[in-house]
Amino acid sequence: MRKILAATIAASVGLLVGAGTIPVAATATAKTSGYQPPAIDWGTCTRPSLQVRGAQCGFLVVPLDYAKPNGTKIKIAVSRIKHKSADSAYQGVMLTNPGGPGGSGLGLAVLGEYVPNGAGEFYDWIGFDPRGVGSSVPALACDPNYAGYNRPFYVPVSRQLEKTWLAKAKGYAKACDKAGGALLDHLKTTDSVADMESLRKALGQSKINFYGFSYGTYLGQVYATQHPDRVRRFVLDGVVNPARVWYDANLDQDIQFDKNMDVFFGWVARNDATYHLGTTAKVVKQKYYSTLYSLIKNPAAGKIGPDEWNDIFVSAGYYVFGWEDVASAFAAWVNDKDPAPLLDSYAEPGVAGSDNGYAVYLGVQCTDVKWPQNWSKWQRDNWKIYSKYPFITWNNAWYNAPCLNWGAKAGKPVAINGKKVPPVLLIAETNDAATPYSGAIEVRKRFPNSVLIEGVGGTTHSGSLSGIACTDDTIAAYLATGELPDRVRGNRSDKQCDPIPQPNPAAVSAFSAKTADNARAELQDAIGVR
């Protein structure tokens, strides 16, 4: 769930805000029977992509701790683009979430314009930064230099490397404990679900519609489980497996990412005329790994070591968008020893607040459920997977390792149950690595009124609204009228569509992967993520 549409670490998210919490005296009184939020004071947005669309921005005031509704309050940054249809055709609010957890969703209010056939015009589209994220107050950030250049090698081939990474992860957890204070105890998915309920109330709605990507699909599952009578139409794209949160889910990712990278290496080989990296997937893969090992002693430009090299390639396992950029950076270094594209692909460390997305990611995952506290289990599980699927395994392990020493107490995950939930639309590609396809099948079982669209054979995560008519027109019909494809018998998808196609760097066609790539790039620009 680490990288998805809008799941890079956002340093600027379009609202000018101060730091800290709101004094209790400045907030509305809440009843212990259920928190009633004050109305949102809507104003002008500061982000240009929202301004140009006439969006409104403001803050939702909510309790830090819903068990103490009269206590300390925090602010959730919210955006709204109102419906363009006649009022008689209005179908309510559409809340959105880009995933992560930790992704800034403020810019996702623009999503409605990407729904085909004008079906997005019936809704008020609501973007929001979840608690701790982006423009919400307070926002969590712990150490902007944590993902710095030329870090210790991910793969703990020596006891010293292992100790170094364990100490590094523990240090980050302690930094977050110091920076987060009381907020750290209230970053669970259930806290964000409670914020969604407060948002529903503040918007004066009896029900909500919801469009969630990646982790956002889990947020939607928990909301629907806890508030089935408040659900209208939900679109869940890139479906999290609720039976695997969160330690096991990350192990599942390691396997599929490795398989997807083989697909990418094969694509590079088929385009050898462009990239000159080898004519077989095996040769290209060997060059990837031989280069990685060479960077241990000789980092590119003194900055891009084996970890940064691995990080740069991870996006190619997430989706086909940007394959040309990754392959070009690969070729520039291997063939010409030009580090410039690599440096352009890796965010420079040290920018204040730049680790906000990562910090909140950990704040949610480390406290939704208790992670194994015995390091020997992590060792056994990760070395076993690494032996066959090495691409991201230790990268992913260390990414999550602060959970070993996280300062907030973990809870128990919600038992997801969609039996009372109205029809929901699920979307997944067969070889999604971030949220493996088995998760979509599991959620389809738990939500007996749901329908699943499968992008057959695809490797892209959360790729809806990218120009694939079979998928996007189904979304549009559902949002316009509630119509869904018939649900079939068995544990399988209900409708099969083409996946997002792989790019063809040598072709110029009416519709190619470049079309989808451009559509996604346009959307990312609109929501403020590139």
**Burial annotation 485-502 (CB, 10 A radius, 16+ → b, else e):** beeeeeeebbbebebbbb
What residues have CB less than 8 Å from 111, skipping those under 6 apart?
94, 96, 120, 125, 127, 211, 465, 523, 527
Q: Measuring CA to CA, which residue among 74, 63, 71, 56 is closest to residue 36?
A: 63
3-state secondary structure (DSSP) of residue 113: helix
Angle of CA points 453, 454, 459, to nearest 5°: 140
Contact status, residue 107 vs residue 80, Cβ threshold 8 Å: no
The reply to whether 315 belongs to the active site is no
Kindly report the length of the chain: 530
Whole-angstrom distance, CA of residue 175 vs CA of residue 409: 16
User: Pairing state of beta strands 208-213 and 124-128?
Assistant: unpaired
- For the chain, what percentages of helix, strand and coil (3-state, to nearest 5) are there? 45, 10, 45
**H or E stretch covering 44:** strand 43-44
Instruction: Tell me, letter by letter, the H, E, C secondary structure of 339-381.
Output: CHHHHHHCCCCCCCCCCHHHHHHHHHHHHHCCCCCCHHHHHHH
Please list the alpha-helical segments (H only) found in 144-280: 159-180, 189-202, 215-226, 247-270, 272-275
Whole-angstrom distance, CA of residue 223 vs CA of residue 251: 25
What residues have CB less than 8 Å from 33, skipping those under 6 apart?
none
User: Pairing state of beta strands 451-455 and 495-497?
Assistant: parallel
The reply to whether 432 belongs to the active site is yes
DSSP state of 217: H
Contact status, residue 459 vs residue 433, Cβ threshold 8 Å: yes
Catalytic position from the list 461, 466, 493, 494:
461
3-state secondary structure (DSSP) of residue 114: helix
Contact status, residue 73 vs residue 61, Cβ threshold 8 Å: yes
Catalytic position from the list 214, 345, 354, 450:
214
3-state secondary structure (DSSP) of residue 299: coil
Catalytic position from the list 191, 307, 432, 517:
432
Contact status, residue 137 vs residue 44, Cβ threshold 8 Å: no
Whole-angstrom distance, CA of residue 523 vs CA of residue 501: 18
Whole-angstrom distance, CA of residue 281 vs CA of residue 530: 29
3-state secondary structure (DSSP) of residue 208: strand
User: Count H helices, E strands: the chain?
Assistant: 16, 10
Whole-angstrom distance, CA of residue 86 vs CA of residue 34: 34
Residue 383 neighbours by CB distance under 10 Å: 14
The residues that are catalytic are 214, 432, 461
